[in-house]
Amino acid sequence: MREQVLGADHAHTAESLNNLAGLYWSQGRYPEAEPLYRRSLEIRERVLGADHPATADSLNDLALLYSCQGRYEAAEPLYRRSLEIRERVLGADHPDTATSLNNLAGLYYSQRRYEAAEPLYLRCLTILVEKLGQDHP
């Protein structure tokens, strides 16, 4: 409906594509999720810009899909780019930046690159404790 009413290249259409891809991802329907994540990313980059937080979200989500498939070399640059956007636009101590740190650390952990993962996990934890408090779930 969003595609028909707002157009194929609208930011809200990209949001719907990303959400549907997320549903497919959660169901393990990875081949169906990937083109939707890619299309959402392309729209967000073109319409919102390469440094928009929603673009960072799309990068992160596509990287997560690749990570779940063991496609680590494809995931890493997407996670890195998402982190760079969030640090620059939202700030080094934003909870979304912490999410990017955690996800990149998780990728390194999956690759047994523990020395690379640890400082990212620690930085993530510091941000979350500072912003959300020690007792936040």
Classify residue 49: in a domain, yes or no.
yes
Question: Does any domain span residue 8?
Answer: yes
Nearest residue to 83 (alpha-carbon basis) of 109, 63, 112, 110: 63
Predicted structure pTM score: 0.92
Band of the pLDDT at 5, cuts 50, 70, 90?
A: confident
Which residues are CB-contacts of 20 (< 8 A; sequence separation ≥ 6)? 36
Residue partners of 48: CB distance under 8 A and separation at least 6: 11, 54, 55
Residue-wise pLDDT tens digits, 45-83: 999 999 999 999 999 999 999 999 999 999 999 999 999
Residue 73 maps to a domain: yes
Which residues span the domain enclosing 41? 2-132
**Within a domain: 120:** yes
- What CATH number does the domain containing 45 carry? 1.25.40.10
Residue 121 lies in a domain: yes
Flag whether 137 is in a domain: no
Instruction: Decide if 126 is inside a domain.
Output: yes
Total tally of structural domains belonging to the chain = 1
